[in-house]
Amino acid sequence: MRLKPLPDTIPDCTAFEAGYLVTQNGGWRSERPVIDEAKCVKCRQCYLYCPDGTISQEISVDYDFCKGCGICAKICKPGAIAMRREADYA
Ligand code: SF4
Ligand code: SF4
């Protein structure tokens, strides 16, 4: 699916604009969001709702900063995001 162009005023990653992404803090995450590309409809709700702004407009997660809160999985109506055990990716 092709992404629609966004206005220049929308930042690529919300936390970068807010200055939050200073120290890598994903190390204590117990679960990580995993996106199923086949189910994703590119609605960008996860991008907008992630409290740490670690999902890009292209819908990829920056695991250096994702805390594993699961909000993105909750907000994703198509069910494209699953929270998986972090230990399985060590
Ligand atoms: S909320 Fe779900 S469907 Fe929408 S862009 Fe994010 S992963 Fe894709
Ligand atoms: S689990 Fe939380 S911090 Fe990580 S990408 Fe989803 S909403 Fe953002």
Q: Is 53 exposed, middle or buried (0-12, 13-18, 19+ CB in 10 A)?
A: buried
For the segment 8-66, what is each residue's pLDDT rounded down to a tens digit? 655 555 555 555 555 666 677 899 999 999 999 999 999 999 988 889 889 999 888 89
* Most ligand 2 atoms within 8 A of CB, residue of 30, 32, 55 to mutate: 55
Pairing of strands 31-35, 81-85: antiparallel
DSSP structure string for 47-75? HHH-TT--B-TT--B-TTT-----HHHHH
What domains can be seen in the chain, in order of their start residue?
14-89 (3.30.70.20)
pLDDT at residue 82 above 70? yes
Q: Which among 34, 52, 75, 81 is the best mutation to test ligand 2's pocket, defined by most ligand atoms within 8 Å of the CB?
A: 52
pTM, two decimals, is: 0.80
Position with higher pLDDT, 1 vs 30: 30
> Is the CB of residue 90 less than 8 Å from the CB of residue 49?
no
For the CA of 75, the closest atom of ligand 2 is 7
CA 43 to centroid of ligand 1, rounded, Å: 5
Q: Which atom of ligand 2 is nearest to the CA of 83?
A: 1
